[in-house]
Chain A
Amino acid sequence: MGSVPTDTLLVQAQSRLGQVSVRQSTDADSIDGVRSQVVAEPATGDEVAAVLGWASAEQLTVSVRGGGTKLDWGGVSNLVDLIVSTARLNRVIKHRHGDLTATVDAGTTLGTLNATLAAHGQWLPLDPPWSEQATIGGILATNDSGSRRHRHGTPRDLIIGITIVRPDGELAKAGGIVVKNVAGYDLSRLMTGAFGSLGVIVDATFKLAPVAPASRTVIVETDAVETLASVMADVQASTLTPTAVEVSCPPPRVLVRFDSVETAVAQQANEAIHLLATGGRVTRAVAGVDADGVWDDYARWWSEPGTLVKVTMLPQNVGRTLGWFRQTSERQNVELAVQGRAGLGVLDVRLRGSVDAQVALLSALRERFRSGEGAAVIRRGSPELRTAIDPWGPLGDGRKIMQAIKQRFDPEGRLNPGRGPVSSGPAVGS
């Protein structure tokens, strides 16, 4: 009902939502440059339910917004009537340090959460981009992670319980607060990575990890991209237990990180240098502030302008893919930089160039992968690029199942329209 004038909708919202904070939107609330009419800022799960229930009764379209760090990720948002902001859902609900779990509101930033957990020497072991601004809800909705995914996995590997509000305004939960639990369907994982297309995440419970007292990072610099593959293979075939194995170029280098007690990280770093310092590779280990500097630079890479694409592949194909990137980016006149999880076959690729050139490169890249053996998903990109080429790429056989799920959760297609991987479709078994 995009035709209702803003002031009318605001007045309606204010009168019908009682104590829920509602205001007119500003430019700062826009998603992909598109402004909604009204912003609701519920402070509890019940208030989220009230907002969504009202939106359902009025047939309003709704987008969800957290810290605003990834609004240009995923599909291009359609115009919506209402933005639900999680800004007031910002509590660390409970840190059960003896159980190594925590429950947190969706609007809490990862930085705030981890500062709280640090009081007991624990953390939610995720290091995605913009941890200080990014909220738990947004990190879950995008299933985002960083270098230490190598050891700890992604949000979907760490979540153990969730509370959501469905598009029809019903508050539902799944999972629980215990680390091992197989009662009922795993909606926590289904919601993770769904880009808010199935429900509004209200809070989540995670298993945590102890903060390691010491860290060492071994840096291997090579003169050529080709050499990187042999470095990665050496690490992979060893019995080292790094928390991160990152490849980046340009300039070509591999970072191998160890987090544990001091004697253990020192010993593992020495072993790694002994293993990797061959054949003209420059190898050194850094710790303390030097290592912090390396990883801070590493994190800043994400903030530099350009399209961000997640490219997945079998780990053994990383070297070959890096070679292909170099050749193709030159041919297509696209500036290309890479950093990513070499040991897992998950690379972040940053592109700069004309929309046409980027589309050509991404199309060629997608053709390299057979279904299930790799994908190139645009994370951040201009609306023009994400309109010119499907940011998700082929979804394989799963597409129609995803459409059927979307249809069941959001039959009217009112929640985060355009942004999720699929729009509604019929049940697959019918």
Chain B
Amino acid sequence: MIDPTLINAIEQAVGAEFVVSDRSELATYESDGLAKLRSLPGLAVLPGTAAEVQRVVQLCHEHAVPFVARGHGTGLSGGAMPHPDGVLIVMTRLNRILDIDIPNQRITVEPGVPNLNVTTAVSAEGCYYAPDPSSQVICSIGGNVAENSGGAHCLKYGFTVHHVLGVEIVLPNGELVQIGGPALDPPGLDLLGVLVGSEGTLAVVTKVTLRLLRKPAAVKTLLAAFDSTEAAGNAVSGIISAGIIPAAVEMMDRITIEATEAAVHQNFPPAEAVLIVELDGAEADVSVFFEMVQQVCRDADAREIRVAQTEEQRARFWMGRKAAFAAMGRVSPNYYVQDGVIPRTKLPEVLARIRDLAAESGLRIGNVFHAGDGNLHPLVCYDERMEGQAELAKRVADEILMFCLDVGGSITGEHGVGADKVDQMPKMFSDVDLDTMQLVRCAFDPKNLCNPNKVFPTPRLCGEVPGPYRAHPVEVAGLVERV
């Protein structure tokens, strides 16, 4: 329940028509793309300018009320799940492109601008914005900054953190500050490095300056079909071992191929696995390496290789891949999208374990991967109308994450920890690791108001001062003695 004086003050700040307090209207915002985690916000507000965002945060800070920023709500880890006693700051009205500087290959946008609109705005000038999450038509740049979003092409071009040069942010105490800017290497500590990917827990972003890339002279894309996922995995290893860094290497297995075929009729060959491999760059490099990639695929017993001859064919390959999540809805009433990462050489081992798990559990598991960088997206299919299946699917999805950790991987490659995976964090990090990360949080947000209860399972009490002497772990282990 939000204090009426706070509601009143927020209405004064942004206009009553942009403040939502009615419970039925608030339901629009109860979850992000991870619909199983829901919570009605105490209040939702749609500010139209950075100054209004700042005022809302100042008011929340004064009233010690938590706040959560939300973009277009496409996140898949509940990172934008509202706080029941807090204010949800919906950033969609901050959707202006503020500055385009083609000679310097820079663009400055507000956080509500959808990812794809950045590329669209500079495409005629021969430039583009590299990170391309599958949801790029709708997902916002602000959300990309929060999650350090990747996409199919991050194998070669990196993640959001490699492309953000500057941000304007509202700190949790309501101060509006600029970090970095259009020039590289802002002096001092790498605040951008830690802000990008902090899942909205350190500040609210109100402006972003991004690096643009020149469109490559040549792009070549092929689709290779294999009789087993292992053979496809061997092809991926072969490509990397040959010293080739493709722009993208994506894998889909039989279940996801069939699902997307039903949804978008992309006409992929029937196979246990297909790879989409894309190379880009200068003409000379691309043609040499493209030949090598085809040879590697043949050596790995590809049963068919299709080369996109036109831009339209290339688009069809990608449509098949990018439609994979949504298409699963056609073959299964419900599905759980998992996001884990493994060292790419562990692909055959982990795929075998996932297959065994599917057999044991009786659930179908489709697999789409960013195979080049070892980022798995297993899709665990279930039917929530059947008693116990939803819980089973969750257990199966959790188990897959444990496979990832067993081989030295991560519990999330791009969807984030959010609210969904806080319980898995201690399986990947020690208490000290998590405590150390939260030192940063305490520097930004000592009152723990900015998107609380996300990322970390146990909030650190920031008021703690260095305490009295405790025995050092090494000392306890007997490695050293204290006299």
When the two chains form their complex, are residues A408 and B190 in contact, meaning their CB atoms are under 8 A apart? no
CB distance from B437 to the nearest CB of A (A): 4
Q: With A310-B185, A344-B184 as known contacts, state yes or no: A241 contacts B282, CB within 8 Å.
A: yes
Known: A174-B436, A239-B214, A430-B446. A16 touches B282 (CB 8 A): no
Which residues of chain B from 402 to 436 have a CB within 8 Å of any chain A CB? Answer: 408-417, 421, 425, 428-430, 432-436
In the A-B complex, the 10 residue pairs with the smallest Cβ-Cβ separation, listed nearest first, are A372-B181, A189-B193, A210-B243, A397-B177, A239-B217, A53-B472, A404-B443, A267-B284, A98-B345, A172-B436
When each residue 104-116 of chain B gets 1 if its CB lies under 8 Å from chain A and 0 otherwise, what string results?
Answer: 1110000000000
How near does chain A come to B278, taking the closest CB pair, in angstroms?
15
Q: Is B480 an interface residue (CB 8 A)?
A: yes
Determine the distance from Cα of A169 to Cα of B444 in the docked complex, in whole angstroms. Answer: 23
Q: Is A202 an interface residue (CB 8 A)?
A: no
Using known A-B contacts A261-B285, A263-B284, A374-B183, determine if residue A186 contacts B443 with beta carbons closer than 8 Å: no
Over the window 36-62 of chain A, the binary record of Cβ atoms lying under 8 Å from chain B Cβ atoms (1 yes, 0 no) is 000000000011011001100100000
**B444/A183 in contact, CB under 8 A:** no
Interchain CB contact under 8 A, A185 and B437: yes
Q: In the bound complex, do residue A428 and residue B444 qualify as a contact, i.e. CB atoms below 8 Å apart? A: yes
| B482 in contact (CB, < 8 A) | yes
Q: A180-B375, A187-B436 are in contact. Are A264 and B183 (CB under 8 A)?
A: no
For B466, give its contact among A99, A268, A412 (CB under 8 Å): A412
A429 in contact with B188 given A210-B243, A210-B245 (CB within 8 Å): no
**Any A CB within 8 A of the CB of B37:** no
In the bound complex, residues from chain A placing their C-beta under 8 Å from that of B172 are 428-429
B439 beta carbon closer than 8 Å to chain A: yes
Q: Which residues of B contact A71 (CB under 8 A)?
A: none
Please name 19 pairs of A and B residues whose Cβ atoms are closer than 8 Å in the assembled complex, sorted by A.
A50-B472, A96-B343, A143-B185, A178-B343, A182-B197, A184-B428, A184-B429, A186-B148, A186-B161, A186-B193, A193-B190, A236-B103, A267-B284, A268-B284, A401-B189, A405-B440, A407-B443, A427-B446, A429-B449
Please give, as numbers and ranges, the residues of chain A lying within 8 Å of B171 by CB-CB distance: 401, 428-429
- A131 on interface, CB distance cutoff 8 Å: no
Cα distance, A166 to B433, chains bound together (Å): 10
**A190 at interface by CB-CB < 8 Å:** yes
> Which residues in chain B, 363-382, are within 8 Å of chain A measured between CB atoms?
370, 373-375
B204 in the interface, Cβ–Cβ < 8 Å? no
Q: Are B188 and A16 in contact (CB under 8 A)?
A: no
- Contact of B285 (CB < 8 Å), options: A178, A188, A241, A396: A241
Q: Is B132 an interface residue (CB 8 A)?
A: no
Having A170-B436, A402-B191, one finds 18 other A-B pairs with CB under 8 Å, namely A57-B482, A98-B345, A99-B344, A156-B190, A166-B436, A168-B466, A172-B435, A179-B373, A180-B154, A180-B410, A183-B421, A193-B189, A373-B183, A375-B186, A397-B178, A398-B189, A427-B446, A430-B447
* Most chain B CB inside 10 Å of its own CB: which residue of A15, A100, A169, A399: A100
Query: Does A251 belong to the interface (CB within 8 Å)?
Result: no
The 8 Å CB contact of A189, one of B104, B190, B466, is B190
B467 CB to nearest chain A CB (Å): 10
Residue in B closest to A199 when the chains form the complex, CB atoms: B436
Main SS of chain B's interface residues? loop
Whether A180 contacts B159 by the Cβ 8 Å rule is yes
List residues of chain B with CB within 8 A of the CB of A177. Answer: 343, 408
B443 and A427 contact, CB distance less than 8 A: yes
Does A385 lie at the interface of the complex (its beta carbon under 8 Å from any beta carbon of B)?
Answer: no
Question: With an 8 A cutoff between CB atoms, is B241 at the interface?
Answer: yes
| Docked CA distance A18–B432 (Å) | 24
Inter-chain CA distance A17–B429, complex, in Å, is: 27
Q: Does B180 have its Cβ within 8 Å of any Cβ on chain A?
A: yes
Instruction: Say yes or no: B193 contacts A429, CB within 8 Å.
Output: no
User: Does chain A have a CB within 8 A of B83?
Assistant: no
Q: Are B245 and A209 in contact (CB under 8 A)?
A: yes
Expressed in whole angstroms, the Cα–Cα distance for A132 and B210 within the complex equals: 35
Q: Are B447 and A402 in contact (CB under 8 A)?
A: no
Residues of B close to A402: CB separation below 8 A:
188-189, 191
Q: Which residues of A contact B214 (CB under 8 A)?
A: 239
With A182-B413, A375-B186, A428-B175 as known contacts, state yes or no: A101 contacts B343, CB within 8 Å.
yes
Contact with B425, one of A101, A184, A392 (Cβ below 8 angstroms): A184
Contact for B483 among A15, A98, A233, A406, CB less than 8 A:
A15
Q: Are A157 and B162 in contact (CB under 8 A)?
A: yes
Tell yes or no: A192 within 8 A of B by CB. Answer: yes
How far, in Å, is B476 (CB) from chain A's closest CB?
11
A315 touches B187 (CB 8 A): no
- Residue numbers in A under 8 Å from B198 (CB-CB): 185-186
B interface residues, how many (CB within 8 angstroms):
112
User: Which residues of chain A in 114-159 are interfacial with respect to chain B, using CB atoms and an 8 Å cutoff?
Assistant: 121, 143, 153-154, 156-157
**Would B181 and A371 count as touching, CB distance under 8 A?**
yes
Min CB–CB distance B237 → chain A (angstroms): 6
The complex places the Cα of A53 from the Cα of B341 at a distance, in Å, of 34
> Which residues from A are CB-within-8-Å of B416?
182
Q: Which residue of A lies closest to B414 (CB)?
A: A182
Indicate if the CB atoms of A346 and B189 lie closer than 8 Å: no
A312 x B185 contact (CB < 8 A): yes
How many angstroms between the C-alpha atoms of A173 and B434 in the bound complex?
9
Q: Do residues A192 and B193 form an inter-chain contact, with CB atoms below 8 A?
A: yes
Interface membership of chain B positions 180-217, coded 1 if the CB is closer than 8 angstroms to chain A and 0 otherwise: 11111111111101101110000000000100001111
Query: What 1/0 flags go to B42-75 for Cβ under 8 Å of A?
Result: 0000000000000000000100000000000000
Q: With A and B bound together, what is the CA distance between A212 and B433 in angstroms?
A: 37
Q: Is the CB of A346 within 8 A of B439?
A: no
Chain B min CB distance to A376 (Å): 9
Contact among B284, B341, B462 with A181 in the assembled complex (CB-CB below 8 Å) = B341
Contact A181 B188 (CB under 8 A): no
Cβ–Cβ < 8 Å partners of A50 in chain B: 472, 474-475, 479-480
Q: Is the CB of A396 within 8 A of B444?
A: no
Question: In the assembled complex, how far is the CB of residue A88 from the closest CB belonging to chain B, in whole angstroms?
Answer: 15
| Cβ contact within 8 Å between A54 and B480 | yes
Instruction: List the A side residues contacting B410 at CB < 8 Å.
Output: 176, 178, 180-183
